[in-house]
Amino acid sequence: MLSDWEKCRDLILSIKVWDFLPNKEAILEMLAKRIQEDGLQTYLYTYNNYYESLSLDHLARYGY
């Protein structure tokens, strides 16, 4: 099952306008990374009241 950031990334990267830009691959890579980072940041802000601590292992295991 895809998380919301993955759905967002796939939708944004599927836009055909990227074909007209120079350095398309670098731009798409940067966008994908930023979408994932911003998704994690949003998750942490949204659910920070439910956690006393978070580990990188936990975040990686559940795909955040």
Contacting residues for 36 by C-beta, under 8 A, at least 6 apart: 5, 9
Q: Compute the average pLDDT of residues 29-56.
A: 86
Q: Compute the average pLDDT of residues 34-50.
A: 86
Instruction: List Cα–Cα distances, 26 to 3, 10, 19, 33, 49, in angstroms.
Output: 23, 16, 12, 11, 36
Q: Has residue 19 got a pLDDT over 50?
A: yes
pLDDT at 54: 72
DSSP 28: H
Dihedral (CA of 54, 55, 58, 62) sign: positive
Q: Compute the average pLDDT of residues 37-42.
A: 87
Q: Has residue 1 got a pLDDT over 60?
A: no
Q: Compute the average pLDDT of residues 32-60.
A: 83
Please give the residue that has the higher pLDDT: either 58 or 8: 8
